[in-house]
Amino acid sequence: MSEEERFEILRAFDLLPHVAGGSWATIWFRINKISKPSREEFRIKVLEYFKLLDPLFDSLPQTNEFKEMNDYIKRRKENMIEKIMAGKNEEIEKRYERYIDYG
């Protein structure tokens, strides 16, 4: 797999958790009038929405030509889920702080 292909996957995983997961989680808490969710509750909700992207992550052909890339995507996704739950995704943590401060 080329560095360019890896680069694009990394950029997607830099953005998708907070753009899709964080934004939708914030909307969900706001609509449900939950102004002070715990960090864990927020992270879990982020992951609920992030995991809705699984069809996208699984959309490349399951052929030998794409095996290395599909394996890489799977590892990156699992790594991102672990980072989010451990509070090590800075963008998700910023989204949480902003929501708590300005809900």
Tens digits of per-residue pLDDT, 78-102?
999 999 999 999 999 999 999 999 8
Strand stretches in 1-103, DSSP E: none
**pLDDT tens per residue, range 3-56:** 888 999 999 999 999 999 999 999 999 999 999 999 999 999 999 999 999 999
Position 34 scores a pLDDT of: 97
- Across 58-78, average pLDDT: 96
Q: Where are the domains of the chain?
A: 3-102
Taking the C-alpha atoms of residue 28 and residue 71, their distance in angstroms, rounded to an integer, is 32
- Say whether pLDDT at 57 is over 80: yes
Compute CA distances 29 → 8, 64, 100, whole Å.
31, 42, 11
**What average pLDDT does this structure show over 44-69?**
96
Q: Helix-strand-coil percent breakdown of the chain, rounded to 5?
A: 80, 0, 20
pLDDT at 103: 66
